Chains A and B, each alone.
Chain A
C-alpha cells in the first residue's frame, strides 16, 4: 500500500496564478483532510471531507477550494495564489473524523 500520496512535491507560483494539489489514499478511508503548516503556527486545517460527497471548511479556508472526486481522491485548489499561501500543505485521511489520521509527504509551495 502506498498510503497517502500527494502531487506535486514542490511548486513555485507567481502571485495570481492558480494550481491544484492532488491527494489520493488507498486505505479505503472515509475522511480526508487538507492542512497547511507554517513555522511557529503548527498544523491548521483548511478543509475536510468527512465522507464521500461532503466537504466542510476548517480553520483557514479563505483562498482555497476543494473537491472530493471520489472516495480515494481529495484535491485542493488555489484560484489566485498569494504570497501568504506560501506554506507546506499536507493531505491526510482517516476512517472517521475522530480516529487517527495518516498523512501524505506534503507539498512545499512558494508563491512569489
Chain B
C-alpha cells in the first residue's frame, strides 16, 4: 500500500461547481498534513495546512479524519483558475519526512 494515495482523476467540473478530493494515508502516527497545488510545468505550491479541527481559507476547506486516516479538500464555487493538480502531503515514516501523493487533476470548464 502506498503511504499516501489519491485518485488521479481528472475531475472535470463546470465553473461554479463544488468539488471534493479525498486522500488516504497509511501512517497512523502522522502529525503534519498539507494540500499543495501544482500548475502544469510549474513547481508545487502550498495551498493550505490541514488541522485536526478542520480549516477554511476562502473557497477552500480542508478536513482531517484521523480515525479513518483520510484528508479531504473541498473547493466551492470553482473557478477556471482552479484547474491544476492537487497534491496531498503527509509526514511519513522515514525521519518524519513529508510524503507526497501522486496528485488529483482538476479541470474546471466554462
Contact = CB atoms under 8 A, between A and B. Distances in A.
A48 B97 contact: yes
Given A42-B103, A43-B100, A105 B43 contact: yes
A48 B91 CA distance: 14
A94 B95 CA distance: 14
B13 to A, nearest CB: 23
B43 to A, nearest CB: 4
Nearest to B8: A40
Interface in A69-112: 90, 94, 97-106
Contacts of B97: 45, 48, 58, 97-98
Interface stretch (B18-26, B44-52, B56-64, B65-73): B44-52
Contact of A42 (B34, B46, B100): B100
Given A43-B44, A97-B91, A106-B43, 7 more contacts: A45-B97, A90-B44, A98-B31, A98-B97, A100-B98, A104-B43, A105-B43
Interface of B: 31-32, 34, 42-46, 49, 87, 89, 91, 95-98, 100-103
